[in-house]
């Protein structure tokens, strides 16, 4: 049986706030979207996974989406799902739809929703209400009490046979008030089956929800385990060497002097992440007395240091770098440096910041004789 998954990530999370889409916010040092996609790539054996993204993200999707099909989302949720549905393989028989903002979905929940859809045609995960449910008017006056055994709080995943979903989406253009695909399926005359949901499968809508998710994924005794590390490096500028910063070769008449390629950005970030994990420093692991590191690529050192941090159970939440250089002008190279550092750290470029500053003509850096770098890394214990 050909089973496809659609992950709805076309919204911008306006209720969450912030400068980037909610689905890119880190949860336990990993973007929410990546956690959600990984749950579908690593669990049930889907034949294809399709992710609907805002247009600007769909044009340049994060590298962790290399194994999925990316499409542009639409103005409304049902528009995003319709765009993804159009990309589904013709052989698909069952389609599972899931919110990108529910990253804690379990494989067991996905499987039982699919099984129910195969049997009944349409099924959604839902949690039965346990509190007393009141109906109120616009003045917040109670007008009635609802029988809670009849009330279910809808979640995703929601799964449908292809014909059911096709009929449901045919109503999307006229159903402006539809909040999920199950509602469209109901309006199309199909019976939708309820399967037992999971209280942990919360939807991240506000920063408070993100805090709750952080607590849910934290290992016992490690709740809120966040650590900060600082890194610093300085090298002299000399003639006859290339200038390499953050793994990027920058055109300039001088380069940095050192035992390796003297990439001060990578060195500072390496010290920052090692320090945050209490794993020593760059000199301990890559000493300049070891011929093995003569002229070495500092991106490789950073990658190895990241593996040490990962082995210690930590992931990177974000890295902030300040490069102090009188010359050359670094702004044209900042995005390339961010992308290079992100690759070495195994995170998204949105989690890396690089800023260039001058030293206003003061000391050796201000005189153009050296370049200094400060780095700060925030790490979290992985779930």
* Residue 224 in this model has a pLDDT that exceeds 50: no
Is the pTM above the cut of 0.75? no
Domain edges within the chain: 3-217, 226-381
Residues present in the chain in total = 383
DSSP for 46-79, please give it.
Answer: -SEEEEEE-HHHHHS--GGGTTSEEEE--SSHHH
pLDDT in tens, 142-157: 999 999 889 999 999 9
| pLDDT value at residue 223 | 47
Q: Classify domain 3-217 by CATH architecture.
A: Alpha-Beta Complex (3.90)
Cα separation, 64 vs 340, whole angstroms: 15
| pLDDT value at residue 177 | 67
The CA-based dihedral angle spanning residues 244, 245, 247, 250, taken in that order and rounded to the nearest 10 degrees: -50
333 burial via Cβ count (<10 Å: 0-12, 13-18, 19+): buried
CATH of range 226-381; options 1.10.443.10, 1.10.287.110, 3.40.50.1820, 3.30.1330.50 = 3.30.1330.50
pLDDT in tens, 2-37: 999 999 998 876 667 666 788 888 888 889 999 999
Contact 327, 367 (CB under 8 A): no
3-state SS track over 316-370: EEEEEEEEECCCCCCHHHHHHHHHHHHHHHCCCHHHEEEEEECCCCCHHHHCCCE
CB-based contacts of 136, cutoff 8 Å, min separation 6? 142, 143
| pLDDT value at residue 380 | 86
Least confident of 111-115, 216-220, 325-329: 216-220
Task: Give the max Cα distance, the chain.
Answer: 82
């Amino acid at each position: 049986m050909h089973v496809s998954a659609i992950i709805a990530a076309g919204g911008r999370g306006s209720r969450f706030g912030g400068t980037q889409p909610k689905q890119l916010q880190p949860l336990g040092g990993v973007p929410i979207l990546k956690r959600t996609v990984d749950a579908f790539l690593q669990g049930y054996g889907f034949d294809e996974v399709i992710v609907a993204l805002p247009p600007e993200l769909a044009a340049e999707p994060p590298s962790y989406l290399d194994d999925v099909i990316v499409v542009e989302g639409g103005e409304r949720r049902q528009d995003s799902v319709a765009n993804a549905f159009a990309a589904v393989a013709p052989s698909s028989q069952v389609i599972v739809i899931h919110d990108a903002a529910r990253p804690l979905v379990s494989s067991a929940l996905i499987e039982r929703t699919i099984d129910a859809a195969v049997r009944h045609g349409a099924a959604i995960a839902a949690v039965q209400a346990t509190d007393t449910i009141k109906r109120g008017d616009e003045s917040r006056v109670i007008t009635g009490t609802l029988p809670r055994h009849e009330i279910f709080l809808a979640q995703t995943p929601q799964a449908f046979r292809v014909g059911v979903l096709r009929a449901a989406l045919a109503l999307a253009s006229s159903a402006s008030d539809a909040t999920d695909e199950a509602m469209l399926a109901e309006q199309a005359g199909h019976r939708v089956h309820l399967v037992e949901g999971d209280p942990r499968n919360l939807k991240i809508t506000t920063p408070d929800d993100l805090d709750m998710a952080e607590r849910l994924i934290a290992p016992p005794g490690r709740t809120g385990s966040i650590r900060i590390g600082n890194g610093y490096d300085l090298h002299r500028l000399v003639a006859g060497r290339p200038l390499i910063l953050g793994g990027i070769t920058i055109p300039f008449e001088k380069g940095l002097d050192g035992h390796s390629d003297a990439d001060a950005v990578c060195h500072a970030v390496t010290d920052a992440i090692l320090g945050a994990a209490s794993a020593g420093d760059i000199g301990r692991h890559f000493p300049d007395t070891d011929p093995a590191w003569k002229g070495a690529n500092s991106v490789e050192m950073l990658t190895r240091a990241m593996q040490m941090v990962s082995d210690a159970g930590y992931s990177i939440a974000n890295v902030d770098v300040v490069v102090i250089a009188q010359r050359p002008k670094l702004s044209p190279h900042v995005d390339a440096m961010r992308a290079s550092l992100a690759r070495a750290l195994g995170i998204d470029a949105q989690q890396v910041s690089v800023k260039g500053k001058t030293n206003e003509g003061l000391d050796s850096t201000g005189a153009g004789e050296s370049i200094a770098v400060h780095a700060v890394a925030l790490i979290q214990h992985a779930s």
